[in-house]
């Protein structure tokens, strides 16, 4: 009778016996040399978590012409120590002279 494949659908040349494994194509328990081996790559992070991170992240989008500008963004200047901080609403006014107020007894 004629045969379809020279290797008989297997990769077992001069081996005799090969241990069975689970085929990644059909899940059947078949010999290791006959099984279809596929390397499945899956993301560690699920798709919903990736979408949440993308929605939470913020980017300052520049116009197409401004994207060509290669100067670095401006740095924020530090406030000097001798300038007083602006008063917050709902707080007591600071005492004059810069010294801390005496504790009340």
Domain membership flag for residue 2: no
Domain membership flag for residue 27: yes
Sign of CA dihedral 90, 96, 98, 99: negative
Domain that includes residue 40, residue range: 15-61
Nearest residue to 9 (alpha-carbon basis) of 43, 41, 32, 39: 32
Domain membership flag for residue 35: yes
Task: Give pLDDT tens digits for 44-82.
Answer: 999 999 999 988 988 878 899 999 999 988 888 887 776
pLDDT at 87 over 70: no
When divided into structural domains, the chain yields a total of 1
Domain membership flag for residue 100: no
Domain membership flag for residue 71: no
Q: Indicate the average pLDDT of the chain.
A: 83
Instruction: Report the CATH number that the domain containing residue 21 is assigned in CATH.
Output: 3.30.1740.20
Distance of CA 68 to the CA centre of its chain: 28
pLDDT at 101 over 70: no
């Amino acid at each position: 009778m004629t045969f379809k494949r020279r290797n008989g659908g297997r990769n077992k040349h001069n081996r005799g016996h090969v241990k069975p494994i689970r085929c990644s194509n059909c899940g059947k328990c078949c010999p290791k040399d006959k099984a279809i081996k596929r390397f499945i790559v899956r993301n560690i992070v699920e798709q919903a978590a990736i979408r949440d991170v993308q929605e939470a992240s913020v980017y300052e989008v520049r116009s197409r012409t401004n994207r060509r500008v290669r100067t670095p963004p401006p740095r924020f200047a530090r406030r000097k120590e001798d300038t007083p901080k602006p008063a917050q609403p709902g707080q007591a006014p600071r005492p004059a002279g810069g010294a801390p107020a005496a504790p009340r007894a």
